[in-house]
Amino acid sequence: MQCIVNRRAQFSASHRYWLPELSEVENVQRFGLCTRAPGHGHNYVLFVSIAGEVDEYGMVQNLSEVKQVIKQEITSHLDFSYLNDVWLEFQQTLPTTENIARVIWQRLLPYLPLVRVQLFEHPELWADYQGNGMEAYLTISTHFSAAHRLAHPSLSYEENCEIYGKCARPNGHGHNYHLEVTVKGEIDPRTGMIVDLGALQKVIEDRVVEPFDHTFLNKDIAHFAKVVPTAENIALHISSLLKSPIRELGAELHKVKLIESPNNSCEVLETILNNSDIPTTLPHLLSSKT
């Protein structure tokens, strides 16, 4: 039986985004506050995922070996370091979250049967790297608060109560929605970035968070005048709002995850939605309702 095993590690390190071949104005234009000397730091959290057959001792690989390899090859170098100088790779390509994840993969691959390296710069920004050349994923987590009511316009109040339960009550109720947007792209060999992070944050803010926050979705967002604002329909709508602006930034929307409550979340995977080879019977929404 194949299993995936995840091991967590952490390190604190500083970095600075600055390319000597660019002028100061150009550096500031591209990297904003991240250009400030001598740099700034993060408490990085690393998840290393390995896969394989379970051996006679009940393990994919001895976890104390995994822990030792991560310490020896990664955290003993990076913890309390200035990333730009610590490894040659970061002189060629800036130590962005996605590029650090890629380089960690390269350095661990001789020792571990890797399937994923996930690196959190902080709880609201993380990168995933799966060994596919310069391809990486970047996720931004954000939130908005909104009210909604679940009721199909063509049904009676009683019928709606039957389908949607308490969510059909006439005056609505609210949630603090958590939203995770994952984009996929190619790491630029010099800047280390798959996308301009500031521009991506602005797209999510301008297209979703600002218009959705502190609204009654059914009344304030035109799309939900006729479409019932379930977590599924909100996630699908967010996905359609973000898709082309993210493409204009040079990346692809990969996933929208909308967490409505600790018990209920919905994921829309763009790659599955757009893949005509996948049978239409395959549920493209993964949702769990209480």
**Which of the residues are catalytic?**
167, 214, 260
Q: How many CB atoms lie within 10 A of CB 6?
A: 12
Which element (helix H / strand E) includes 185?
A: strand 173-186
What are the residues facing 117 on neighbouring strands?
48, 129
Task: Tell me the CA end-to-end span of the chain in Å, nearest whole number.
Answer: 31
Contacts of 65 by beta carbon, 8 Å cutoff, 6+ apart: none
Query: What is the DSSP secondary-structure string of 71-82?
Result: IIIIIHHHTTEE
Cα-atom radius of gyration of the chain, to the nearest Å? Answer: 22
The rounded distance, in Å, linking the Cα atoms of 262 and 46 is 24
- 26: its two tokens: 């150009």
